[in-house]
Amino acid sequence: MTSLTTRDIACTRGYRDLFAGLNLSLKAGDLLRVEGPNGSGKTSLLRILAGLAQPAEGEVLWDDLVISSLDSDYRNQLLYLGHKPAIKYELTPRENLTFAGHLADFSDRQSIDAALEQLGLYGFEDILCAHLSAGQKRRVALSLLMLSQAKVWILDEPYTSLDVAAVAFLEQQFQRHLESGGILLLTSHQPVGRISGHLRSLVLPELSLQQVDV
């Protein structure tokens, strides 16, 4: 049973509410795309769902248990990529992924090399990430999508800096993930194309409150 739900969560910035009374219910195979203008709380929502931020009110539940009490059991199921690079520029792609693997229990060299190759980084595995282009840096982080066993993917603007081939690869990974029963949440300014399955969309209104049930 895979379900990610929220109960009346609210988010505030300063003394103002960004959203309140938000109820989401996501099951295996669901993709939720969060849209809205800048400042509407998309990133905050994703961070709350990842457990990085606490909601001002309400709770996030994984399989009907509050994630703060689940702690590492939830984090085991989770892959989050935010705006920040999530890799160290002073390490090579291979070193970065090996480290990530030690934290997440996938560390054999072959799968790491295979992932890097799939993302068009063959030949760049041992070059310091500082010397890679913006798109290449982004692709190192996205290699985690191939390697991770996580059931919940929360991605903030995953399309940033990607060329057409990388976007295609990314959406392939999304498809694979959804078909194997995973949940995917993302924000993006462009529509998610070429994916079949249960696609839903949440539009966060700008700085006003609405009861939203998705």
Partner 1 sequence: MNPSVSQAFMAVLKRDLMLSYRHRNELLNPLFFFVLVVMLFPLGTSPDKSLLLTMAPGVIWVAALLAAMLSLEILFRSDYEDGTLEQIILSPHPLAMLVLAKVVAHWLVTGFPMLLLAPLLGIFMYLPEQGIITLMLTLLIGTPVLSLVGAIGMALTVGLRRGGMLLSLLVLPLYIPVLIFSASTVDAQLANLGISGQVYFLCAMLVLAITLAPVAAAAALKISIE
Partner 2 sequence: MKLPAIVHKFSSPQHFYGMAGKLIPWVGWACAGFMLAGLYLGLFVAPADYQQGESYRIIYIHVPAAWMSLFIYMVMAVSAGIGLIWRIKLADIIAHDSAPIGAAFTFLALVTGSLWGKPMWGAWWVWDARLTSELILLFLYLGFIALQASIEDPRNAARAGAVLALVGVVNIPIIHYSVEWWSTLHQGPTVTKFDKPSIATSMLIPLLLMAMAFHLFYVVNVLMRARVQVLKREQNSRWVKEIIDHECE
Interface with partner 2 (CB under 8 A): 12-17, 54, 56
Contact status, residue 78 vs residue 152, Cβ threshold 8 Å? yes
Supply the minimum distance, in Å, between the C-beta of residue 196 and partner 1. 29
Distance CA 136, CA 126 (A): 13
Which of partner 2, partner 1, none has residue 80 at its interface (CB below 5 to 8 Å by kind)? partner 1
Helix, strand or coil, per DSSP, at residue 95: helix
Total of chain residues touching partner 1, rule CB under 8 A: 29
28 or 70, CB closer to partner 2? 70
Contact status, residue 188 vs residue 165, Cβ threshold 8 Å? no
Look-up: residue for tokens 């890097």?
116
Binders in 96-135 for partner 1, by CB under 8 A: 99-100, 102-105
52 or 168, CB closer to partner 1? 52
50 binds partner 1 (CB under 8 A): yes
164 binds partner 1 (CB under 8 A): no
Distance CA 15, CA 13 (A): 6
Looking at 11, 20, 24, 78, which residue binds partner 1 (CB under 8 A)?
78
Q: How far is CA 73 from CA 7, 142, 194, in A?
A: 20, 23, 32
Radius of gyration of the chain (CA): 17
DSSP string for 101-142: HHHHT---HHHHHHHHHHTT-TT-TTS-GGGS-HHHHHHHHH
Looking at 90, 117, 163, 179, which residue binds partner 1 (CB under 8 A)?
90
Other beta carbons within 10 Å of 29: 16
- Name the segment binding partner 1 (CB under 8 A); options: 9-17, 45-53, 159-167, 169-177: 45-53
Looking at 86, 127, 162, 203, which residue binds partner 1 (CB under 8 A)?
86
Looking at 18, 87, 166, 178, which residue binds partner 1 (CB under 8 A)?
87
Rule CB under 8 A: which residues touch partner 1?
A: 47, 50-54, 72-73, 75-76, 78, 80, 82-91, 95, 99-100, 102-105
